[in-house]
Structure 1
Amino acid sequence: MTLMSSVTTRLIPFGEYSTWVRIEKPDAPREDALPLVVLHGGPGMAHNYVRNIGLIADETGRTVIHYDQLGCGNSTHLPDAPADFWTPQLFVDEFENLVDALGLDQVHLLGQSWGGMLAAEIGVRRNPALASLSICNSPASMPLWSQAASALRDELPPEVQSALDRHEAAGTLDDPEYVAASAVFYERHVCRVTPTPPDFQESVDQMEAEPTVYHTMNGPNEFHVVGTLGSWTVVDRLDRIDTPTLVVAGEFDEATPATWEPFATRIAGVTTHVFAGASHCVHLEQPEIFRAEIAHFLSKHDLSTHDYSPSGRRDLTS
């Protein structure tokens, strides 16, 4: 498919800082198609690895907006900010500032991994701009995430588990043996595409060059969570979400069913879908199938307003 959409970028003031935004407009826009805002993961992984979701622009005739969250990518970097600066509320405020600055009355919101956690935080606040939420490959709490990671680690080869345990105990997380052992987990549960997709590698490279946000909030990697998000949960607030919501994950996702089950049971009228054969980065592993599922959901809710009244749950698990 030839990309015909036009792409513009800009910096949006956010207090004394700046948020970098990428706006992809379709060649043939649909008047009834609301814009889609995409929240990247990490925290601190920048938009690069989810950039291909922008193909939805021409595939559905809607504008797609990516942005680099504060502290990473092309937005303001703050390597000296204290740990307590980096909170979910900071990133909720950044999203609200962006929507206001762009003059968006109503949007669809898609978040991947940490982005889905952030989308849930925005959803429970009942932001009037939300037409729908798509929570992709995300846990409803970090304790659930850590429990799932532990269970998945138990399935790794014994020598891999031993290397992980040994280096975590010694604090030698930059040792090549630890890096290689970590890669085994990533290849099973994070991105099953080999070689690593360039977009994914771009996000990894920029995070490693500026690891402040990721290391502060999460930790050194996806399964050794020692950051400030370690006790985060939205489970007890999910009944506040009154927006049409889609929850998706991969069959081999590090976000296992136990991590996202609260979304499925506590959000009224939720739709769920599991992509067979995929892991955490479904959008890179099965890009066309992923975008088609998202596009179908968005099209149903382009005209959704706050008159939305859920009438039961729809389960598309496959």
Structure 2
Amino acid sequence: MKPLTAVILTCFCGLMSCSSPSGDEPAEKRPDLAEYLDSAGKEDELSGGARQIKISTPKGDFKVWTKRVGNNPTMKVLLLHGGPGGTHEAFECFDSYFPEEGIEYYYYDQLGSHYSDQPQDTSLWNIDRFVEEVEQVRAALQLNKENFYLLGHSWGGILAMEYALKYQDKLKGLIISNMMSSVPAYNKYAQEVLGPQMAPAVLAEVKQLEADNDFSNPRYMELLLPNFYTKHALRMPVEQWPDPVMRMFNHMNQTIYVQMQGPSEFGISGNASLKNWDRSADLEKITVPTLTIGATHDTMDPKHMEWMATQLPEGSYLNCPKGSHMAMYDDQKTYFKGLVSFIKAVDQGGKL
């Protein structure tokens, strides 16, 4: 963790240096709840916070879906979902934590996802265009450097880093959740660390299915669910996976996912457009307060995400010792205690 200013140290350092806070202490309730819940005069008052935002692209205008929860003039968090091609639904657990802390937040389906328009032109699925989409959403929501926190999970973490490298003058704080800054490093970790953790016979069969390009074979998921997903994606028996997670997977846009991420679950390879993405050398250019979040059992290397925090001028790291790639579910208390602490620390002191 980077040295903290005195004003931040008291409220932040203790929480972030402890990898497994007990979570027993009652949350401090926001005293002005009526103000937090007041939507009077808001553009989205009629729809309970939901609105469609028009965005312009090289292939025409489309609409993307967002939904605001709460009001806070200095803490507004835009949530970038994973995938690519995932949905806002994976973030629905935030409803259990952010409102009682008085944090305003925005669900958002990126173009091509769930409630947003789903054009068929595959030229739209590239990082630069997604960055411009986020900037148009930010402007429409009237978020600015006095209040705008951007949180990206997984693919959303890539998008958040890219956005910050171009538009960090609009940001108050950045959260990179469960995403490394290098896809080649991620691939190396998947092949050399995660794969060998599987039983040799299972790994051999998975590798053969991948070599045969037989990803649609039901056997592929039959092997991965108990031997990989429940160990590194979400550490619960599949039958216990939360409803928002199941809905997110059911609504995944596979066209976008395969084009950018590829069909394999062991890294990003083949013709996937993200396979050579690497911003590790550029992390030092992101000067806004930034929190990286990793988990001990993540598909992403937690040591790499801890290292990322040392490369960011105002970086700090939160580890979720019981968590995996979706640590907001399988190490939820640690995840949200650290996340809320970071947001409030930046709000009180301005920077780390």
Superposition TM-score, scaled by structure 2 size: 0.79
Contact 1:137 1:253 (C-alpha < 8 Å) held by counterparts? yes
Q: How many percent of aligned residue pairs carry the same amino acid? A: 28
Query: Which amino acid is the alignment partner of residue 137 of structure 2?
Result: L
Contact 1:110 1:134 (C-alpha < 8 Å) held by counterparts? yes
Q: Secondary structure at the match of 1:154?
A: helix
Counting helix residues as a fraction of each chain, which structure ranks higher? Answer: 2
1:43 counterpart residue number: 84
Q: CA RMSD in A?
A: 2.1
242 and 224 in structure 1: CA distance in 2 versus 1, 3 angstrom threshold: closer
Q: Deviations 1:253-310 (Å, cap 9, x if unpaired)?
A: 11113542552232113111211111111101122331121111000112565xx4x5
Whether 1:100 and 2:139 are equivalent positions in the alignment is yes
2:195 counterpart residue number: 153
Structure 1 runs of 4+ aligned residues shifted over 4 Å read 3-7
Contact 2:79 2:150 (C-alpha < 8 Å) held by counterparts? yes
Which of 1 and 2 has greater Rg? 2
Q: Secondary structure at the match of 1:74?
A: coil
In 2, Cα distance between equivalents of 1:47 and 1:213: 15
1:213 counterpart residue number: 256
1:252 counterpart residue number: 297
Structure 2 stretches lacking a partner, 5+ long: 1-26, 28-32, 40-47
Work out which structure has the larger RCO, using CA pairs closer than 8 Å and 6 or more positions apart in sequence.
Answer: 2
Q: Deviations 1:193-250 (Å, cap 9, x if unpaired)?
A: 222221111111111xx31111100012432423110000111211110100111111
1:9 counterpart residue number: 50
The count of corresponding residues between Structure 1 and Structure 2 is 298
In 2, Cα distance between equivalents of 1:278 and 1:262: 18
Structure 1 stretches lacking a partner, 5+ long: 311-318
1:314 counterpart residue number: none
17 and 126 in structure 1: CA distance in 2 versus 1, 3 angstrom threshold: closer
1:34 aligned to which of 53, 75, 85: 75
Decide which moves more: 217-226 or 132-141.
217-226
Q: Secondary structure at the match of 1:163?
A: helix
2:282 counterpart residue number: 237
Query: Which amino acid is the alignment partner of residue 346 of structure 2?
Result: H
1:65 counterpart residue number: 106
Query: Which amino acid is the alignment partner of residue 97 of structure 1?
Result: Q
2:24 counterpart residue number: none
Q: Deviations 1:3-24 (Å, cap 9, x if unpaired)?
A: 9958421110011111110111
In 2, Cα distance between equivalents of 1:71 and 1:302: 33
Whether 1:138 and 2:208 are equivalent positions in the alignment is no
Contact 1:39 1:110 (C-alpha < 8 Å) held by counterparts? yes
